[in-house]
Copies of this chain bind each other. A is one copy, B any other.
Amino acid sequence: MGHTPSFHPLYRQIKELLLTALQRREWQPGEAIPSEQELAQRFGVSQGTVRKAIDELVAENLLVRKQGKGTFVVSHNDPRQFYRFLRLRRDDGEWIQATSVPIDCWRAKAGQEASKVLQIPQGAPVVILRRVLRFSNKPLVLDEIYLPGDVFEDFSLDALREWRGSLYAFFEQRFGVRMVRAEERLKAVAADRIAAEALGVTERTPLLLVERLTYTYHDRPVEWRKGYYATLEYHYFNELT
């Protein structure tokens, strides 16, 4: 009868152990985790099995291997990871450093849509943050960001203004929340007055609307944002496999 075989290979159980250890921050972002040999001993399995578990975590961008040095917890504070999820590129392919400029921030209660996507009760506290991303000093992205209030308690615009680096690096450092993966939904829309002003374009200019839902460990959604991208000399880059 249609029962689920529920066969769980050993390396997946090891992976789950590593995942929960990461989740409770047994090793800090940027730090090395124990060596494969050491983990194999700790869990009572062979090194090859630990290796296969780590393989999957590396494929999911939670860990990075460095030959001869060790395996490290990925951190958004690593300069190479600063804008890891930002797919905006110049049309000529040149790389431009982005700068985040906070605009305003307030607290509110979750409406129907926010409560649904963030999987929190309606009326639960949310933090709403608006900011602009500048590329070579041109404002190109206007973001409106919704955060669950209980995870981001006493979020302060002042602390953010002093921050050098990406927003996710800030979240990781200050709130211990590591963004692990995200889903984006893109549409073309006409700029309203607010977006037009923030981005220095005329009203009704076509903008790329990028709706992003970001997850931390174990598929828990912890950020929802709407981004309005001005794509005159820039584009959103994507690879399909």
Q: Are B181 and A240 in contact (CB-based, < 8 A)?
A: yes
- Ranked 6 nearest A-B pairs via Cβ: A206-B206, A188-B206, A188-B188, A186-B236, A187-B231, A185-B235
Q: Does A207 contact B (CB under 8 A)?
A: yes
- B181–A208 CB distance below 8 A: no
Q: Majority SS of interface residues in chain A?
A: strand
Once the chains bind, are B182 and A240 in contact (CB under 8 Å)? yes
Q: Tell me how many chains of this kind the complex includes.
A: 2
12 example contacts (A-B, Cβ-Cβ < 8 A) are as follows A181-B240, A184-B239, A185-B237, A186-B235, A186-B236, A186-B237, A187-B208, A187-B236, A188-B208, A206-B207, A212-B240, A238-B238
Q: With CB as the reference atom, state the residue of chain B lying closest to A55.
A: B55
Assess the B186–A208 pair: CB atoms within 8 A: yes
Chain A contact residues (Cβ within 8 angstroms of B): what range?
A: 20 to 34
User: Is B188 touching A240 in the complex (CB atoms < 8 A)?
Assistant: no
Is A85 an interface position by the 8 A CB rule?
yes
B184/A240 in contact, CB under 8 A: yes
Least CB distance from A45 to B in Å reads 17
Task: Show the binding face of A for B, using Cβ within 8 Å.
Answer: 59-61, 85, 87, 89, 91, 181-190, 204, 206-209, 211-212, 229, 231, 235-241
**Contact A229 to B182, CB < 8 A, known contacts A60-B241, A61-B241, A238-B238:** no
- The answer for the CA separation of A89 and B187 in the assembled complex, in Å, is 11
In the complex, the answer to whether A185 meets B241 with C-beta atoms within 8 Å is no
Question: Nearest CB to that of A184 among chain B residues?
Answer: B238
Chain B residues near A209 (CB-CB < 8 A): 188
Given the complex of chains A and B, what is the CA–CA distance between A221 and B173 in angstroms?
42
Interface centre among A89, A229, A235, A237 (most CB of B within 10 A): A235
A231 to B210, CA, bound (A): 12
Known: A187-B236, A207-B188. A181 touches B229 (CB 8 A): no
